[in-house]
Amino acid sequence: MFTVNDNYLKLPGSYLFSTIGKKVAAFKEANPDKTVISLGIGDVTRPLTSSVIKALHSAVDEMASADTFKGYSPDLGYLFLREAIRDNDYKSRGVDIDVDEIFVSDGAKSDSGNIQEIFGADNKIAVCDPVYPVYVDSNVMSGRAGIYNPETERFSDVIYMPCTKDTNFAPEIPSETPDIIYLCFPNNPTGSTIKKDELQKWVDYANKVGACIIYDAAYEAFITEDDVPHSIYECEGAKTCAIEIRSFSKNAGFTGTRLGFTVVPKELKSKDTSLNPLWARRHGTKFNGAPYIIQAAGAAIYSDEGKAEIKELIGYYQENQKVILDGLKSAGYEVSGGVNAPYIWLKTPDNVKSWDFFDTLLNEANVVGTPGSGFGPSGEGYFRLTAFGTHEATKEAIERIKRL
Ligand code: MLT
């Protein structure tokens, strides 16, 4: 008889955003007269920009003609897109990345969940606490995380790096040496970030102990401060210790169209084995490429017109960041994040538990956010709001929270 991958049975509860979705659906069903505003999952609300739409239309037309029709995409993604990424995301910042080091995918979530496959089963991971749940859950599924302890809300074989008010919501180098270190900056969920000299310390540390940093830079487009790096490769020596994951979701609104990429430098090695061909092998075997029309749409964001539109799009959400930050501050909330990131991290009033605050907000203000404890035990007593709503809904949500 078949058996199951019982690592899945070690996962507590359902995926955070599925749990929230179910709670909200139940509330809406019981209260059909209420208008619920969601500032929960970081899903965008603005439409795709006009150069992206134009590129989509013209790629669709290409698919309609035998002369221009495209079947499977090249393993690593179309060269036109990888060259645009190389030139605009890296060369423009003084970083030299080869097109063969860029792997186009259907999004940062898939890559951040799948990347652990190319590492040894006994590797020890270190994660921030609170953390984007995908990093931990994907390692649980592959048997790398040990056993879950419901009391501590932690897995036995995971190194947790608390990111609390005391650490300015940044991780500190752990006392136990990890093999893989997950870092996400600008950070999801706390909206905090890291300056270049601080990130350099992580790169130096990883090179010293032989660890690999998996750097999730999905929110880099929201950086406003000069000394905050957009890529880990801006740090000296990062190519021998870091993989970088990027997304088109949050900067260009591709949450529904799916596009991302991962950089695996050829110099990144475990002893003599380079990780780049391993990820290429994995990509070739398990993935047949993001659709041509989506890759063509992605390339459109790198045109002059596309760049200007993206700037405006991000500016739209940045206005929401300010509305949420200023509104909550004026209502007496302790808040952080929201300067270089589309997430605002707030302390719940009177140390109310995160899920209790979620219920209060949903029931009394009809506003949905994300409980901090859903991202890890150090998130208890915190709550995340996203700036990805519309201006109108964001303003209304903050007014409702102020009236609580
Ligand atoms: C979030 O809300 O944390 C993100 O939208 C989740 C994701 O990007 O997968």
Q: How far is the CA of 42 from the centre of ligand 1 (A)?
A: 5
Structural domains in the chain plus CATH codes: 12-48+305-402 (3.90.1150.10), 53-303 (3.40.640.10)
Q: Is the pLDDT reported for residue 120 higher than 90?
A: yes
Contact 105, 262 (CB under 8 A): yes
pTM > 0.95: yes
Radius of gyration of the chain from its Cα atoms, rounded to whole angstroms? 21
Q: Is the pLDDT reported for residue 135 higher than 90?
A: yes
* Structure confidence at residue 280 as a pLDDT band (50, 70, 90): very high
Contact 121, 144 (CB under 8 A): yes
> What is the per-residue pLDDT across 20-71, written as a single tens digit (0 to 9) for each?
999 999 999 999 999 999 999 999 999 999 999 999 999 999 999 999 999 9
Q: Does ligand 1 have an atom closer than 6 angstroms to the CB of 250?
A: no
Q: Which atom of ligand 1 is nearest to the CA of 189?
A: 3
User: DSSP letter string over 236-247?
Assistant: TTGGGTEEEEEE
Share of the chain above pLDDT 90, in %: 98
> Token digits for 146?
């040990």
> What is the per-residue pLDDT across 184-228, written as a single tens digit (0 to 9) for each?
999 999 999 999 999 999 999 999 999 999 999 999 999 999 999
Q: Which of 207, 196, 262 is nearest to 234 (CA)?
A: 196
pLDDT of residue 16: 87
Mutate to test the pocket of ligand 1, among 15, 132, 245 (most ligand atoms within 8 A of CB): 132
pLDDT of residue 235: 98
Q: Does ligand 1 have an atom closer than 6 angstroms to the CB of 42?
A: yes
Q: Is the pLDDT reported for residue 15 higher than 90?
A: no
- State the sign of the Cα–Cα–Cα–Cα dihedral 192, 115, 374, 174: negative
Q: Is the pLDDT reported for residue 13 higher than 90?
A: no
Query: What is the pLDDT averaged over residues 387-402?
Result: 97
pLDDT of residue 42: 92
Q: Does ligand 1 have an atom closer than 6 angstroms to the CB of 347?
A: no
Alpha carbon distances (Å) from 366 to 26, 294, 295, 330: 13, 35, 38, 20
Q: How far is the CA of 388 from the centre of ligand 1 (A)?
A: 11
Q: Is the pLDDT reported for residue 348 higher than 90?
A: yes
What is the bridge-based pairing of β-strands 260-263 and 159-162?
unpaired
Q: Does ligand 1 have an atom closer than 6 angstroms to the CB of 112?
A: no
Q: What are the beta bridge partners of residue 367?
A: 37
pLDDT of residue 182: 98
pLDDT of residue 14: 82
pLDDT of residue 90: 98
> What is the per-residue pLDDT across 140-180, written as a single tens digit (0 to 9) for each?
999 999 999 999 999 999 999 999 999 999 999 999 999 99
> What is the per-residue pLDDT across 281-300, written as a single tens digit (0 to 9) for each?
999 999 999 999 999 999 99
> What is the per-residue pLDDT across 235-273, written as a single tens digit (0 to 9) for each?
999 999 999 999 999 999 999 999 999 999 999 999 999
**Quick one: how far is CA 378 from the chain centroid?**
19
Mutate to test the pocket of ligand 1, among 105, 131, 134, 188 (most ligand atoms within 8 A of CB): 188
